[in-house]
Amino acid sequence: MFTQAELMDAINDLEKGRHSIQNCERLAAIYTVLDHLYGQPIDRGYSEDNKVEAEIGLYGKSDFLKTIAGKPSKETWLLIDELIEALSVLNPRLKSTFLDKLRAL
């Protein structure tokens, strides 16, 4: 039986390799085994650190999201709070719009 880590390593190797029909077929087979053995297919938006992706989910491919992947939540939120406070001075309208969007979630 394969471990989840072995399957994820195989997926990463194939995704980084040459794009071909054979590799697509292999990926499909590995994803099927992963889903069957571990019950939850992993959404693959980008490949940085599989452990982090499984923990936080994949939200996108932006530089910001790639940068915060795996970072401690508390420290990350404190830095984001500093940024939002800086917006109060630099662009209060942008800060207000951003906070309104957050409230609407």
Q: Is the pLDDT of residue 60 over 70?
A: no
Name the residue ranges covered by the structural domains of the chain.
1-58, 72-105
- pLDDT per residue over 85-96, tens digit each? 999 899 999 999
d(CA 23, CA 77): 39
Higher pLDDT pick, 51 / 92: 92
DSSP state of 13: H
- pLDDT per residue over 1-27, tens digit each? 778 888 888 888 888 888 888 888 888
3-state helix, strand, coil in the chain (%, to 5): 70, 0, 30
The CA angle 81-62-14, to the nearest 5 degrees, is 135
Q: Is the pLDDT of residue 50 over 60?
A: no
